């Protein structure tokens, strides 16, 4: 059971269900202290983003005596969006931004790391997007850094090497590295040592990350109210416990401002 969750979606993204209030009600029922809404940012419909911000702000005010509601977006790395993200932070319209590396554009081509691919040049593109996001200093919460396994769908010498590169990179920044619940709610399982396993969080991946000085965070990545406390949460909690990861329970996003 997560007391603080910073990764929560809303139905606005088109692939989540439930009303905003149902997420809050579920969180209250489960005695949560913090509910951070971090819906996928729209790159095209900025009115939708603004509506989301004002809706969540209203909830934040309404429930301030019962639960800490935080306002955020989950962002991709897109060059043109950086000024927009900067403005959101500077004008304090959001409490924080989180980085989810699902896709990016590189040399005029779109790369989707969640769709099936065998080409390991994707790893360089993924790495570059992650590095640019970290260099922007807009994101301290890095969602599912192993999401590339959803597209690559196997664990081999390339992924082992690549995971070390990610570990080295992440350890150069002051950030929180997420074990996300969403990877075990899909159906994109792949075969590892004769067993079908969720692509992320992937145990071997986090075993390697553990060798680097990192802070970890557990994120529900909830796309429905009940996903704030479901079997996926138990799965990530067990993995973190088994690997004895340095898990942070609570984040103060404004600690540096």
Q: Which residues bind Zn ion (CB under 5 A)?
A: 74, 221
> Rounded to 5 degrees, what angle do the CA atoms 88, 93, 98 make?
60
Query: Which is nearer to Zn ion, 197 or 224 (by Cβ)?
Result: 224
Query: Which is nearer to Zn ion, 20 or 221 (by Cβ)?
Result: 221
Nearest to 147 by CA among 173, 174, 123, 114: 114
Q: How far is the CB of 143 from Zn ion (least distance, A)?
A: 6
Cβ neighbors of 20 (< 8 A, separation 6 or more) are 10, 37, 55, 56, 59
Diameter of the chain by CA atoms? 51
Q: What is the number of H-type helices and E-type strands within the chain?
A: 8, 10
Contact between 20 and 59 (Cβ < 8 Å): yes
Q: How far is the CB of 100 from Zn ion (least distance, A)?
A: 5
Query: Which is nearer to Zn ion, 192 or 235 (by Cβ)?
Result: 235
Q: How far is the CB of 235 from Zn ion (least distance, A)?
A: 16
Query: Which is nearer to Zn ion, 60 or 185 (by Cβ)?
Result: 185
Q: How far is the CB of 156 from Zn ion (least distance, A)?
A: 27
């Amino acid at each position: 059971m997560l007391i603080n969750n910073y990764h929560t979606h809303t139905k606005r993204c088109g692939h989540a269900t439930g009303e905003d209030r149902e997420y809050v009600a579920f969180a209250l029922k489960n005695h949560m202290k913090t509910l951070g809404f971090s819906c996928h940012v729209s790159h095209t419909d900025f009115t939708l983003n603004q509506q989301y911000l004002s809706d969540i702000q209203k909830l934040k005010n309404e429930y301030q005596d019962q639960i800490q509601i935080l306002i955020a977006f989950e962002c991709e790395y897109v060059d043109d969006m950086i000024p927009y993200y900067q403005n959101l932070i500077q004008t304090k319209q959001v409490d924080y931004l989180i980085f989810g590396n699902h896709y990016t554009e590189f040399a005029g081509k779109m790369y989707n790391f969640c769709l099936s691919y065998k080409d390991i040049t994707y790893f360089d593109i993924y790495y570059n997007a992650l590095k640019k996001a970290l260099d922007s200093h807009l994101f301290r919460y890095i969602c599912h850094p192993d999401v590339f396994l959803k597209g690559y769908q196997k664990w081999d010498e390339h992924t082992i090497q690549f995971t070390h590169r990610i570990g080295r990179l992440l350890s150069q920044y002051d950030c929180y590295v997420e074990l996300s619940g969403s990877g075990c709610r899909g159906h994109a399982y792949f075969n590892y040592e004769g067993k079908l396993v969720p692509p992320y969080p992937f145990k071997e991946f986090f075993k390697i990350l553990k060798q680097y000085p990192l802070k970890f965070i557990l994120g529900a990545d909830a796309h429905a109210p009940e996903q704030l406390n479901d079997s996926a949460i138990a799965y990530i909690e067990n993995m973190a416990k088994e690997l004895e990861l340095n898990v942070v329970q609570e984040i103060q996003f404004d600690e540096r401002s």
